[in-house]
């Protein structure tokens, strides 16, 4: 982790988390409070996502993982799912055009299988178009669930053992980490959950073994750069011992 001096609301030097995870929660409640359809909350949340992603890149965060759509979200009403898929399509089309001059490397983590061919093609276009950039890595978790990720890792490792590519006696924590969607990336230092809910919601279970969690009582569409600053300030107040004294 490196030191940085914030250009905006924080003037003191703070320890910058290398990897931040955000559970983008509260879109539906934000819309309900305003007597709007849930789709309006998702649209507002999408704007916040773009704003916070660029801000993280600007201040020097190296990795950002955002929880956009979980494996359990398919249980929502079809009307809401359809609205989310349209929002994802609009964002991906916009990202191809508007983010071409950004330094952000875009990656999608999760099982892409259930998505339409159009969405999968747009994901591929964004990943390939940003692959040579040298800035922050942005992981967008879509149809992601950590238990599903771990099952996938176990299957991959089991296949490697069966094919003689992996020695079962040499399987260790690194073997599992190397078979996750985030292989090659550091575990998150900080996970932020807006909306005030005290749940991990199947997000990065393996990777977050020693992550600092910050729960913020603010719905995601209302989340600002100052709120991110505050989460980093709280992170700086933690004593990270990683099981030691």
E strands, 83-136, in order: 105-109
CATH number of the domain bearing residue 220: 3.40.1180.10
pLDDT for the residue 8: 47
Tens digit of pLDDT for each residue in 48-72?
999 999 999 999 999 999 999 999 9
Q: How far, in Å, CA of 200 to CA of 191, rounded? A: 9
Report how far apart the first and last C-alpha atoms of the chain are (Å, whole number). Answer: 20
Number of compact structural domains in the chain: 1
Residue 11 pLDDT greater than 60, yes or no: no
- Contact between 197 and 218 under an 8 Å Cβ cutoff? The reply is no
**Which residue of the set 25, 187, 189, 227 is catalytic?**
25
- Contact between 97 and 171 under an 8 Å Cβ cutoff? The reply is no
Strands 13-16 and 63-70, how do they pair?
Answer: unpaired
- Is 7 within a domain? no
- Is 11 within a domain? no
73 among known catalytic residues:
yes
Any idea what DSSP says for residue 7?
Answer: S
Mean pLDDT of 114-126: 95
- Is 58 within a domain? yes
- Is 3 within a domain? no
Q: What is the spatial order of strands in the sheet that 212-216 belongs to?
A: 105-109, 137-144, 63-70, 19-23, 190-194, 212-216
Q: What is the reported pTM? A: 0.91
**Which residue of the set 58, 73, 202, 236 is catalytic?**
73
- Is 6 within a domain? no
- Is 242 within a domain? no
Tens digit of pLDDT for each residue in 200-237?
999 999 999 999 999 999 999 999 999 999 999 999 99
Evaluated on CA atoms 119, 121, 122, 127, the torsion sign reads: positive
By percentage, how much of the chain surpasses pLDDT 90?
83
Residue-number span of the structural domain to which 78 is assigned: 17-237
- Spell out the residues 6+ positions from residue 14 whose beta carbon is closer than 8 angstroms to its own: 3, 4, 6, 232, 233, 236
Residue 99, phi then psi, degrees to nearest 5:
-100, 10
- Is 5 within a domain? no
- Is 245 within a domain? no
């Amino acid at each position: 982790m490196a030191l940085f001096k914030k250009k905006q609301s924080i003037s003191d030097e703070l320890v910058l988390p290398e990897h931040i995870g955000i559970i983008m929660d509260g879109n539906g409640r934000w819309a309900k409070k305003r007597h709007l359809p849930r789709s309006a909350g998702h649209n507002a949340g999408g704007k916040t996502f773009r704003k916070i992603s660029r801000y993280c890149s600007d201040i020097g965060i190296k990795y950002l993982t955002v929880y956009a759509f979980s494996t359990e979200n398919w249980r929502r009403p079809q009307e809401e799912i359809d609205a989310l898929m349209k929002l994802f399509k609009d964002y991906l089309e916009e990202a191809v055009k508007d983010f071409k001059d950004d330094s952000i490397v875009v990656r999608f983590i999760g099982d892409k299988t259930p998505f339409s061919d159009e969405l999968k093609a747009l994901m591929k276009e964004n990943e390939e178009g940003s692959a040579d950039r040298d800035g922050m890595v942005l992981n967008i978790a879509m149809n992601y669930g950590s238990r599903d990720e771990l099952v996938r890792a176990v299957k991959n490792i089991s296949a490697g053992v069966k094919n003689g590519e992996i020695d079962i006696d040499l399987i260790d924590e690194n073997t599992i980490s190397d078979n996750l969607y985030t292989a090659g990336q550091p575990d998150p230092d900080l996970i932020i959950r807006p909306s005030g809910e005290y749940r991990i919601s199947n997000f990065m279970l393996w990777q977050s073994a020693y992550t600092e969690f910050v729960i913020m009582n603010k719905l995601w569409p209302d989340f600002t750069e100052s709120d991110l600053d505050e989460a980093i300030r709280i992170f700086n107040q933690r004593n990270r011992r990683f099981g030691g004294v």
